[in-house]
Structure 1
Amino acid sequence: MNSFGTPTNQRILVLDVLRGIALFGILLANMASFKTPLFQQQSLPSEWTSLPDGPLNQWAAFGLEFFVVGNFYPLFSLLFGIGFYLFYERSRAKGRDARRLYKRRLTFLLIIGGLHLFFIWSGDILHTYAITGFLLLFFINKKTSTILAWSISLIIISMVVLGALVTWSSLLISTLTAGDMMETAEQSVHTAVSIYSSGTYIDILSFRLENEVPAVLSNLFINIPNILGLFLLGVYMAKKGLFHHTTHYKHVWKRILIMSGLSGGTLSLFYASLQSGILTMPSWLSYGLASGLNISAGPLWMLFYVAFIVLISHNTFVIRMLQPFAAAGRMSLTNYLLQSIIATFVFYGYGLGLFASVSVFSGVLIGAGMFLLQIGYSWIWLKYQQQGPFEKWWRRWTYPVQ
């Protein structure tokens, strides 16, 4: 995630700001999974490419697809790669066994991610990050050109392979989901809504462990190449010093802003139009093509966001205005986990039971309210502590004796 445990005076402020922004984007992107049976709806072709009812919901849905979906996990992944490099180099500079310490960090992350996946929410990304993170050790001493080549290759391969897989599976589903198959798919959606909206914690846990967690684990190795490519992009940028010397590389950031904005914006617009049903194609084709576009547009659009934040952060007033995001970003592990805890309480039956009863626009408002709450308690917490609670436990696990 980042170099948790890094003393405040060694932190790079713009990275904390980006972590905070990534947290907000991830929360908005995850709202659909928190409040609707997204896993089960994947078997219903009618749910693949359409807009909800009502202009507010339609604009909110299109805005999420264009600006948010697929753009902030790449940012989180990029920051993970940057954090890996900074942690490793700082550990080596202090004469520590960086490889051993880094493995300890990943082990902690894997345990926390596993607990999060099994006992709280099926959309966990931490376990995937932890497993993929071990592969970074093979690249730490490689040349920057080699790292960049691997990064680009993995992202492109992932785009092609995942797009092809989704297209093929979508074609099969759209061919087979007739009669009894369609009835079964619809019944699985109704069952999920019933259990999530009114079930007890044990009911929901049993349902997830049987119906969702196995699917998440089976997709693990499909997701690793893309995530590793993004990790390596972060390592490359950190090795080049793009975040340490932002003023020196201002011309580079401007080029990144223009190129990624034009390419990422165009691809993201195409993706959002397909995903929202504005561009009409057979559902199996548009869904598969949209998936491939999202993987390619996400990193480009993400780089546009990064370059924009880096460039405006040279203004003292702007960076002061972004400090609340930095506070949330310094506690990114804690806040990521708390997002799941709060959201599942709001939507699941053992809490407020709002599952499948909240519109897209209302979901955005709830997400914004949750993040404002996170900014508030992060700000207060860091007035008295140097780290968030999970960050502190992570540090203690990494350095058992100091």
Structure 2
Amino acid sequence: MAGPIQVNERIVLYDIIRGFALCGIFLVNIPSMLGSDWMFGRPDYYGSDLVVRTLFDLFIQTKFYTIFSLLFGIGFSIFLERSYARGDSVGRYIRRIAILFLFGLVHLAIWSGDILHTYAMWGLLLPLFYGLSNRAILTWAWSLLIGSFFLFYVTFSLTEWANGGAFYEGDPFPSAYNMGFGDWFDYRLNVEIFSAISNSLLVGIEIFSLFLFGLYIGRERKLLTWSIRGLTRTAIICAVTALPFFAVILWHHYGGGYIYYWINLTAVLISGKLLATAYVCLFTIAVRNGRAFRPLQALGRMALTNYLTHTLVVALPVIALGYYGRLSLTEGLFLSIAILIAQAFFSMWWLKSHRYGPFEKLWRIGTYGRQKQAS
């Protein structure tokens, strides 16, 4: 009987892209983990922080959760394909999703930016779409993506433009974060956790559309079979198309358009989808031309462990030390780079003697049970 995917069956390209996405996600997450978003009372920065914030919006923000969501869809297309091939019921898939949801709930109790519970909530719907034709899957994917974009971004942007902009004051600084674990957890429980779960129901529409794109890509092995010429052309087209939206982002940060908050978010979102596609295409070209990217490959193979570790080594110590909101965005950038380098070395070391990261192993055992592993 066929078993779960073994190490020698791993698609290295997906691990490398996943490792790259993990790096970008950490860079996006660290401002909220450190409280840098509240340092000036609103998301408006000066000096080196303004440069970093602008670079984030141009090249990082919304780009990497897009890639991660695509990879989730790709990964579960492989999982479902193998499960159905060996005659498994959908129960094993549901069990795998349920474990991911539990990971997410525990993580959400610590940090409001958790994405795992959102992935699990919406990932439950994937088996309903697995049997559809490619055309139907892409129709659903485009409809949900465009629909969520107009519902949550275009509407607010048009209203903002019609009103001549609005000065966004930002969220108030959560002083409970620097009052010890008791007050911090009460604030998390009473204010942030419910809001995070509710938000998952809204942002999940876009996330699920990306799952469906990933489902199609994984099922058709598009990244493995697409011509280098086609990948190159797509990367160039997406990068060039993103340039007008880059102009909007620069106008927002440097050209007097600071009052147009939602218009900037819309530009960040659209450029994010375009650059995410370009990034994936470029990495695919590089890997298919023989580049190994071993640090990224190791980070990607232990993506779940490394993702959860970010919270353990950043968010919890910051709360324990009462240091929330005291580090600048620039300091957070250098801190995140140092942590990612350390994680890359640790992941490469760990994988020399283990097949999976610690949390990947727990997830696997919960899904398949304690199967005898091949030597």
**TM-score under structure 2 normalisation?**
0.90
Q: Which residue of 1 aligns with 2:75?
A: 83
Cα drift, residue 233 of structure 1: 1.0
Matches of 2:222 and 2:196, distance apart in 1: 34
- Render the CA deviation track for 1:99-138: whole Å, top value 9, x for unaligned: 22111111001111011102x1011111000011011112
- Render the CA deviation track for 1:137-181: whole Å, top value 9, x for unaligned: 121011112211221221111111111565599799x9899xxxx
1:204 aligns with 2:187: no
Letter in 2 for 1:145: R
Distance 1:17-1:138 versus aligned 2 partners, 3 A rule: same
1:343 aligns with 2:319: no
Tell me if structure 2 keeps the 8 A contact 1:65–1:275.
Answer: no
Cα drift, residue 225 of structure 1: 1.1
For residues 248-263 of structure 1, the aligned pairs below 5 Å read 249-263=227-241
Distance 1:401-1:156 versus aligned 2 partners, 3 A rule: same
Matches of 1:132 and 1:274, distance apart in 2: 35
1:95 aligns with 2:90: no
Matches of 1:376 and 1:169, distance apart in 2: 48
Matches of 1:47 and 1:275, distance apart in 2: 14
1:324 aligns with 2:304: no
1:273 aligns with 2:247: no
Q: 2:46 aligns with which of 53, 71, 86?
A: 53
Percent pairwise identity: 31
Q: Which residue of 2 aligns with 1:195?
A: 176
Letter in 2 for 1:314: R
- Render the CA deviation track for 1:193-232: whole Å, top value 9, x for unaligned: x432x32222211112222222212212211110011111
Letter in 2 for 1:87: F
Q: 1:362 aligns with which of 331, 342, 345?
A: 331
Matches of 2:348 and 2:28, distance apart in 1: 24
Distance 1:59-1:21 versus aligned 2 partners, 3 A rule: same
Segments of structure 2 that go 5 or more residues without pairing to the other structure are none
Q: 1:70 aligns with which of 32, 45, 62?
A: 62
Tell me if structure 2 keeps the 8 A contact 1:162–1:292.
Answer: no
Matches of 2:243 and 2:282, distance apart in 1: 14
Matches of 2:256 and 2:151, distance apart in 1: 23
Matches of 1:229 and 1:17, distance apart in 2: 23
Q: How many residues align?
A: 367
Distance 1:32-1:379 versus aligned 2 partners, 3 A rule: same
Q: 1:223 aligns with which of 203, 215, 222?
A: 203
Tell me if structure 2 keeps the 8 A contact 1:106–1:130.
Answer: yes
Segments of structure 1 that go 5 or more residues without pairing to the other structure are none
70-79 or 6-15, which moves further after superposition? 6-15
Matches of 1:229 and 1:132, distance apart in 2: 10
Distance 1:260-1:384 versus aligned 2 partners, 3 A rule: same
Q: Which residue of 2 aligns with 1:307?
A: 281
82-91 or 143-152, which moves further after superposition? 143-152
Matches of 1:251 and 1:368, distance apart in 2: 33
> Which 4+ residue blocks in structure 1 deviate beyond 4 angstroms?
164-172, 174-177
Matches of 2:135 and 2:336, distance apart in 1: 39
Cα drift, residue 37 of structure 1: 6.5
1:107 aligns with 2:75: no
Q: 1:137 aligns with which of 127, 132, 147?
A: 127
Tell me if structure 2 keeps the 8 A contact 1:166–1:287.
Answer: no
Matches of 2:335 and 2:156, distance apart in 1: 31
Q: Which residue of 1 aligns with 2:349?
A: 380
Q: Which residue of 1 aligns with 2:194?
A: 214
RMSD: 2.6
Tell me if structure 1 keeps the 8 A contact 2:249–2:267.
Answer: no
Matches of 2:224 and 2:166, distance apart in 1: 53
